[in-house]
Structure 1
Amino acid sequence: MKRSGPLLTLLGGLLLALFMLSLNATTGTGSSSYGGDAPDAATPTPSPTRSSPEPSPEPTESEKPDEKPPPDASYAGRTDDDASAISISVRDGKAIAYYCDGRDTESWLKGKVEDDGSMRLTGKHGAKLNGRIADEKVRGTVDIDKETSKFTAEKAEKPSGLYRATTEVRGAKLDGGWIVLPDGSQVGILNRDGEPGKAPRIDPGTGTVRVDGDDITARPVTP
């Protein structure tokens, strides 16, 4: 009977230990179903998603290279009906033109030349010239005295081209225009005090024109 004391003590300790284990198993240290003070279970951190590289933009139609203004040049030719001559001088994006039938009808026109070679020139009394430079020629139409004529003017090499003289001889005011065509032929009008008439022949090499026994000098026309 004396040995029963320690056994009871040992048995009591075992029962206490079992009770404590049972209590821990019941309460637990995990998350409470009521969301109490127990820390939440760790939420796994999502792995960073790799953004797909943005597709390269599709190549757009390349812009056209900047067009350069037409080079400086002179042009001379005739209307399609061969009734009149036309000469055009182009300098620094500007143009001056002369229309002449060699008798009594003429017109000076001027304006701007676009980078694509097109031009819209205007003169007195509603005169108009619409043309375009291409393949070393100017093709277009000219409206003079309400009549429209088509024309072609080829690039002119000196001494071909456009000439003009404005001076006074023996008290008369002279204003003349001359077109020297690539084949060497000439068309011009000389105004004496405002009265038009066929112009005397010009020496293209020197620009000299003989008028009433006196020499005057016509010079190449540039805008």
Structure 2
Amino acid sequence: MKRPGPLLTLLAGLVLGLFLLTLNATTGTKTASSSYQEKSPSPAPARSAASTAPTPSRVPAAAADYAGRTEDDAAAIAVSVRDGKAIAYYCDGHTEESWLKGDVEDDGTLRLTGENGAKLDGTLQDGRQIDGTVTVGGGRHAFAADRAKKPSGLWKATATVRSAKIDGGWIVLKDGSQVGILTRDGKPSPAPRIDPETGAVTVDGQQLTARPATP
């Protein structure tokens, strides 16, 4: 039997060498890829828009006065707002009146109460107007009161004249008209006009001074 020639031996060695080179190349590529994937950082979780959105701030109602009439024109109403508090006066100019007070919420809503079950529910409209309803003496009235500019607004006077206790309330509307009631020892009657520039008013021959009413 003849031995394989040198040429065959050389060819076999070349084939084996190529096979080993191919195997090493393939193994090296896989190893590098695996190593890269293992070291790659995981992406950070996305933050939702709700978690990043700023919380809207609410601004307390600005100090202001409001005056107007009920929709049925039965009475006038004025509201004074200061530091989150409010005072209101409902007056028909004859015998029916009510003073109410309470808080002003940051969203502009008002819930005011007075004697004998009187109440006012209203909402500030962009600081320009108060819309709502007022319940006095069993009657419920819708109203709209515009922001007042001096001398319009709410006025009040308390004094003793000829041994009688005097309590007066006035609403000065933007057209200059006045609606008010003066009580003498608890007995109501239409109030005399005040000077809207100074608040001066004459009651039973004695001069008094009405002043802007605030909470």
TM-score for both structures, normalised by structure 2:
0.80
Q: Does 1:124 align with 2:118?
A: no
Q: Which structure carries more helix by proportion?
A: 2
Give unpaired runs (5+ residues) of structure 1. Answer: 1-43
- C-alpha RMSD of the superposition: 1.5
2:181 aligned to which of 144, 165, 189: 189
1:1-223 aligned within 5 A:
47=35, 48-60=38-50, 62-135=53-126, 136-223=128-215
Give 1:149 deviation, angstroms: 0.4
Larger Rg: 1
Q: Report the more deviating stretch, 134-143 or 55-64.
A: 55-64
Q: Report the counterpart of residue 20 of structure 1 in structure 2.
A: none
Distance 2:169 2:48 in 1: 58
SS in 2 for 1:202: coil
Sequence identity of aligned pairs in percent?
Answer: 59
TM-score calculated relative to the size of structure 1: 0.77
The one-character-per-residue Cα deviations of 1:98-136 (angstroms, maximum 9, x if unpaired) are 000000000000000011111000000010000011140
Unaligned runs of 5+ in 2: 1-30
Query: Counterpart of 1:215 in structure 2: which amino acid?
Result: Q
Partners of 1:121 and 1:63 lie apart in 2 by 32
Q: In the aligned structure 1, how far is the partner of 2:49 from the partner of 2:148?
A: 44
SS state of the match for residue 115, structure 1? coil
Number of the residue aligned with 1:15: none
Distance 1:103 1:76 in 2: 18
Runs of 4+ in 1 over 6 A off after TM superposition: none
**Separation in 2, partners of 1:137, 1:73:** 10
Secondary structure, aligned partner of 2:49: coil
- The one-letter code sitting in structure 2 at the alignment partner of 1:103 is H
Partner SS state of residue 60, structure 1: helix
Deviation at 1:54, TM superposition (A): 2.3
Q: Secondary structure at the match of 1:203?
A: coil
In structure 1, C-alpha distance between the alignment counterparts of 2:143 and 2:211, rounded to whole Å: 24
CA distance in 1, matches of 2:143, 2:80: 15
Rounded to whole Å, the distance in 2 between the matches of 1:67 and 1:156 is 24
Alignment-mate amino acid for residue 139 of structure 1: D
Counterpart residue type for residue 117 of structure 1: G
Q: Which amino acid aligns with 1:180?
A: V
Letter in 2 for 1:115: D
